[in-house]
Amino acid sequence: MRARFSELLAEAAVREGAVGAFTCYNLETAIGALRAAEERGRGTILLVSKQSFAAAGGDLLLRALVAAADTAPTPACVQLDHVSDPGTIERAFALGAGAVMADGSKLPLQENVRLVRAAGALGQVEAELGGIEGDEDVAAAVAGGALTDPAEAAALVDEASVACLAVSIGNVHGLYAAPPSLDWPLLEAIRDRVELPLSLHGASGLPDEDVRRAISLGVRKVNVNTEFREAYLSVSEEWLDRVRAGARVLELNQAQIAGIADVAGRKLDVLG
Ligand code: 13P
Chain segment 170-209, per-residue pLDDT in tens: 998 988 888 899 999 999 999 999 999 999 999 999 999 9
Å from CA of 74 to ligand 1 middle: 23
pLDDT band at residue 224 using 50, 70 and 90 as cut-offs: very high
**Structure letter (DSSP) for residue 101:** E
Q: Quick one: pLDDT at residue 23? A: 98
Å from CA of 232 to ligand 1 middle: 15
Pocket of ligand 1 (CB under 6 A): 23, 81, 136, 173-174, 201-204, 223-227
Q: Quick one: pLDDT at residue 127? A: 97
Could you tell which of 52, 79, 225, 263 is best to mutate to test the pocket of ligand 1, judged by most ligand atoms within 8 Å of the CB?
Answer: 225
Q: Quick one: pLDDT at residue 145? A: 79
How far apart, in whole angstroms, are the C-alpha atoms of residue 94 and residue 184?
A: 38
Residue nearest atom 1 of ligand 1, based on CA coordinates: 202
Tell me which residue of 226, 241, 236 sits closest to 259, measured CA to CA.
236
Answer yes or no: pTM beyond 0.85: yes
Q: Quick one: pLDDT at residue 144? A: 81
Q: State yes or no: is 81 an active-site residue.
A: yes
Environment class of residue 27 by beta-carbon count within 10 Å: exposed (0-12), middle (13-18) or buried (19+)? middle
Write b or e for each residue in 43-79: b if 16 or more Cβ atoms lie within 10 A of its Cβ, otherwise e.
bbbbbbbbebbeeeebeebbebbbebbeebebbbbbb
What is the average pLDDT score of the chain?
Answer: 96
**Structure letter (DSSP) for residue 260:** H
Lowest mean pLDDT among 25-34, 140-149, 257-266: 140-149
pLDDT band at residue 97 using 50, 70 and 90 as cut-offs: very high
Residue nearest atom 5 of ligand 1, based on CA coordinates: 202
CA distances from 4 to 36, 99, 125, 245 (A): 19, 8, 11, 44
Which ligand 1 atom is the nearest neighbour of the CA of 175?
A: 3
**Do 77 and 46 contact (CB within 8 A), yes or no?**
yes
Lowest mean pLDDT among 109-118, 122-131, 132-141: 132-141
Which ligand 1 atom is the nearest neighbour of the CA of 174?
A: 3
Residue nearest atom 8 of ligand 1, based on CA coordinates: 201
Å from CA of 250 to ligand 1 middle: 28
Q: Quick one: pLDDT at residue 139? A: 83
Q: Quick one: pLDDT at residue 271? A: 97
Looking at the chain, the whole-number percentage of residues with pLDDT higher than 70 is 100
Which ligand 1 atom is the nearest neighbour of the CA of 82?
A: 10
Q: Quick: pLDDT tens for 77-90.
A: 999 999 999 999 99
Q: Quick one: pLDDT at residue 31? A: 98
Å from CA of 16 to ligand 1 middle: 22
Could you tell which of 101, 173, 176, 267 is best to mutate to test the pocket of ligand 1, judged by most ligand atoms within 8 Å of the CB?
Answer: 173
Q: Quick: pLDDT tens for 129-155.
A: 998 888 888 888 877 878 999 999 999
How far apart, in whole angstroms, are the C-alpha atoms of residue 122 and residue 239?
A: 43
pLDDT band at residue 10 using 50, 70 and 90 as cut-offs: very high
Determine which one of 59, 70, 81, 208 is catalytic.
81
Which ligand 1 atom is the nearest neighbour of the CA of 101?
A: 10
